Amino acid sequence: IDDFFSEYPKIEIEKGEVIIQPEEPLIYIYNLVSGYVKSYSINDEGNELIINIFKPYSIFPITETLAGRTNTYYFETVTDVVLQKAPTQKVHEFIRSDKDVLFDLTKRISAGLEGFMIRTQYLIRSSAQKKVASSLILLARRFGENILDNKIEIRLPQTHEDIANLSGVSRETASIELKKLENEGLISSEKQIFI
């Protein structure tokens, strides 16, 4: 995949820029070289719900283009990023031409789907505390690094609002639940969150 995208120039985009909007034709697929990008929806009340956070070596919006569906999500940079973009049709042709790439992509999508199913269970059936805790576990699995004293540092900076948008709760509720977890000694937060 990296070899394929190496034919396309690198593009630098600043934090907070929307790359793709809902209903926008998906004429490009992006390879994330560095930084983080989130996909999210906004409900009728104007609340954001984060669907996924892409990390380096991710390609997006691959599932929407492979399924032939209209995109319903925003894709926005969480940090400054470096991307490469290739025409969707060229990416599809490349995937079809190489069974190893197709298998690798299938593994990636399967891992993402498993995580999404687990997260959906917590978002639908759980208390606010479990929603926030499960979001922290998701962040630790995807963006965490083991450090001294049996701690995991979440390397993706997160505000209380980010945690709320990932958990499907209000910012106030997320703050309350994060404070409870901190008081129980399960997490600590400085610039980063530690579990």
Question: What pLDDT shows up at residue 175?
Answer: 92
**Distance of alpha carbon 161 from alpha carbon 157, whole angstroms:** 11
- Contacts (Cβ under 8 Å, ≥6 apart) of 17: 76, 77
- The region of weakest confidence among 2-11, 19-28, 82-91, 158-167 is 158-167
DSSP state of 68: T
Residue with tokens 């569906």: 69
Read off φ and ψ for residue 151, nearest 5 degrees: -110, 150
pLDDT value, residue 189: 81
**Amino acid identity, residue 79?**
T
pLDDT tens profile 47-78: 888 888 999 999 999 888 888 888 999 999 99
- Give me the pLDDT at residue 54, please: 92
The residue type at 84: Q
Helix axes 160-167 and 171-183, enclosed angle (nearest 10): 110
CA–centroid distance for 112 within its chain: 10
Tens digits of residue pLDDT in 131-187: 898 888 888 888 888 887 788 888 888 889 989 988 889 999 999 999 999 888 888
Contacts for 125 with CB less than 8 Å, ≥ 6 apart? none
- The residues, any chain, with a CB within 8 Å of residue 175's CB and separated by 6 or more, are 160, 164
- What is the C-alpha separation between 164 and 162, in angstroms, rounded? 5
| Tens-place pLDDT, residues 113-128 | 887 787 787 777 788 9
Residue count of the chain, please give it. 195
Count the Cβ atoms, other than its own, within 10 Å of residue 97: 10
Query: 119 in helix, strand or coil?
Result: helix
pLDDT of residue 168: 86
